[in-house]
Structure 1
Amino acid sequence: MLKPRTFFYAAVSLAAALTLSSCAGGNSATAPASPTGSQTTAAFNAADVTFAQGMIPHHEQAVAMSDDLLAKDGLDQNVTALATAIKAAQKPEIAQLKDWLTAWGEDENGMSGMSGMSGMGEGSNGMMSDDDMMTLRDASGTEARTVFLQQMTAHHRGAVAMAQLEIDNGENADARAMAANIVKTQTAELAVMATLLAAP
C-alpha cells in the first residue's frame, strides 16, 4: 500500500505525464506553424473562433497563477510539480490558438471582457477576478497551497466546460482535437488537486 506522500507524487507525476503527452499529441494533431490556407481556413465556424478567443486569456491566467505560486518559497513539492505541468501544457497551446486566429483572420481579443468577470462565480468560466489574483499573490506557505488548489480547481472546471462546448459545436478538426486534449489533461489534474486538497 502506497504511503500518502508517495501516492501524491505518483498522482502528480501521472498528471504531468498526461499533460506532456497531451501537449505532444495536440501538436501532432494540430496544424503546423506555417500551414497552407486549405489546412487551417477550409473548415472553421463561430464556435471555433469563440473557443480560441476565450481559451487564450483563460490559459494566460492559468500560467500567471502558476508563476505566482512558483515564485514562493517552501511550498509542497506536489503542488509546485502540478503548477509546472500546467505551464508546460498551456503555454504552447496559447501560441497555437493565436496562430489559428491569425490564419482565420479573426481578432484574438474578441473575449477580452472575460478577464473582468467575478472569480469562481457562475458563468465566469472559472476566471479569477483581480481580487482573487491578489489573494494568491499575497498568500504564503500552507495558505498559498490551499488558495492555488482551490482557485485552479475552479479555473480547470471552467476550461473543461469551454473545451466541451468546442467538441460539441466546433467544426475545425484541429481545434476540436486540442479541446479533447484539454478535457483529458485537466480532468486528470482536477483529480490530483482534489486529492491534494483532501490531504491533512
Structure 2
Amino acid sequence: MASRRSLVRRAVALATAATAAVVLAACGGSSDSSSPAPGHSGHGMGATHPSGTASGGSHDPQDVSFAQGMIPHHRQAVAMADLAASRAKSPQVKDLAAKIKQAQDPEITTMSGWLKAWGAQVPGDSRSGMGSMPGMDHSASPMPGMMSDQDMGRLKGLSGDAFDKAFLRMMIGHHQGAIAMAGTERAKGAYGPAKALAKSIATSQTAEITEMNGMLGKQ
C-alpha cells in the first residue's frame, strides 16, 4: 500500500515538473519574439531621422542669380549711402543713408556665404558698388534700378540740397529695382532663406520709398 502511494506521488511530481518546463519554455519564446531584432526599432528610428540636410533646403539657378545680382545692387546702395555722410545737408537723409548701410552690409555678407557654399561665383567689388561680373557693361544699368558709372559720378559731384534731392530720387529708383528682383526670387526661387530675405527686402524698401517720397515732398 505504501509502495503504491509512493509511486502515485512520484508520478504526480514528474507531471508537475514537465508542465513547469513547458510553461517556462513558452514564456521564454514569448519574451524573445517581443524583443527588437538587430537593426530594428531603435536603429530604424535613427535610420529614418533626417540628418545631413542643408539648412534651408536645396537651391536652384534662380537663387544663385538672385544672390549674384543683389550683392552688387546692395553694394551700390551702400556706396551711395557712404556719400551721404559727407555730402548730405538734411539730417533725415543722413539718418536714412546710415540705416540703409546698416541693413544691407550684413545682407551682402549673408548672400556671399550662400554663393560660396553653393560653389558659385561671388561678384567682385568696385568703387561704384556695381561689382564685376563677366559680360557686365558698366556704362549702362545691368540690373533694375542700378545706377551707371555716370550716375554715380554725378552724385559724387553734388552736395547740400542738390545732393539730397538727387540721392532721394536715385535711391527710390534703386529700391524699386531691388523690390522687382525680390519679387522674382519669391516667385521662382527654391532656397527658403533666400526667399525670406527677398520678402524682407521688399517690405523694408517699400517702407523706405514711402519715407523718401515724403522727404522729397518737403523740399
Structure 2 CA distance for partners of 1:60 and 1:142, relative to 1, 3 Å: same
Length-normalised TM-score, structure 1: 0.75
Structure 2 CA distance for partners of 1:141 and 1:37, relative to 1, 3 Å: farther
> C-alpha root-mean-square deviation of aligned residues, in Å?
2.1
Structure 2 CA distance for partners of 1:160 and 1:79, relative to 1, 3 Å: same
Contact preservation (8 Å) 1:164, 1:179: yes
- Equivalents in 2 of 1:58, 1:197: separation in Å? 23
Match of 2:102 in 1: 88
Contact preservation (8 Å) 1:167, 1:176: yes
Aligned with residue 136 of structure 1, among 155, 161, 164: 155
Task: Compare CA radii of gyration and give the structure with the larger one.
Answer: 2
- Equivalents in 1 of 2:112, 2:74: separation in Å? 12
Query: Runs of at least 4 residues of structure 1 off by over 6 A?
Result: none
Contact preservation (8 Å) 2:144, 2:181: yes
Aligned with residue 178 of structure 1, among 197, 205, 214: 197
Q: Which amino acid aligns with 2:87?
A: K
Match of 2:53 in 1: 38
Match of 1:52 in 2: 67
- Equivalents in 2 of 1:60, 1:116: separation in Å? 14
- 1:86 Cα deviation (Å)? 0.2
Length-normalised TM-score, structure 2: 0.69
Contact preservation (8 Å) 2:87, 2:158: no
Whether 2:98 is the aligned partner of 1:76: answer no
- Equivalents in 1 of 2:66, 2:55: separation in Å? 15
- Equivalents in 2 of 1:115, 1:37: separation in Å? 41
Contact preservation (8 Å) 1:136, 1:147: yes
Gaps of 5+ in 1: 1-35
SS of equivalent to 1:128: coil
Gaps of 5+ in 2: 1-50, 125-131
Contact preservation (8 Å) 1:166, 1:176: yes
SS of equivalent to 1:171: coil
- 1:118 Cα deviation (Å)? 2.5
